[in-house]
Amino acid sequence: MVDADGKVFVENNVCLASGIYCSEATYCIGENGRTSTATLTNNYVDHYASYKGTDLSSSAPSDVYDNASNNGEKLESDEVLSSEWYKETLGWDFDNIWTFIEGGEGNMYPILKCQQSKVLTPVIYGIPEPAFLIQLADGSSSESLNLERIKSTCGQKLIFKITKGEEYIYIDGTIVDFSGAKEVDRLKLLLLILIWLGNLMFFLLTMLQIYLMSTISCSQVFV
């Protein structure tokens, strides 16, 4: 907390939160509207951390970002995984204060050198329950899932794969589509349905033929 009469400077920061969910207006960097003396300068937000909203399903990145605004400037690439970006853009000290765990640069966020343990246990946020994939809390259905809402607290890159059911769903960029397989797969599914219907028709005709032959034989016996 800062006295409203004092000068406030918020600069050279980056927001790496896994998500910002609140029922009221939220900002990635901070609220300076209540004090005219606050100055926001050179602040940024990771693209994957820029999702905001009242809850996970309604969150989305803001359209307007500026490094001197309450939300900071949104980063579109992997700058936040590189020590060079922190040193050149924010002026952070990677000789005495900041570092990456071994093999971590380019794959996750940096940590403070003073952290005793270099073994981190990340938490994955945004993984939906199975019911979420079919029906949302308001009763409406969802035909897709935005993978960008699934994030790690340590910034690790997440690789998503479909291990079963590729004929029903597929990944298109950062979106998982539940509305059905791609067009070529739909044609295959239609062909399988037609083959199944043909086999069913053949079975029914065979059973009808057996029934008619049985009826004729029975009639001949009692004549």
Rg of the chain (C-alpha set) = 29
Maximum Cα–Cα distance across the chain: 115
Task: With cut-offs at 50, 70 and 90, classify the pLDDT of residue 108.
Answer: confident
Task: With cut-offs at 50, 70 and 90, classify the pLDDT of residue 95.
Answer: very high
Q: pTM for this structure? A: 0.62
Inter-residue contact 71 to 64 (CB < 8 Å): yes
The 10s digit of each residue's pLDDT in 24-42 is: 666 777 765 554 567 888 9
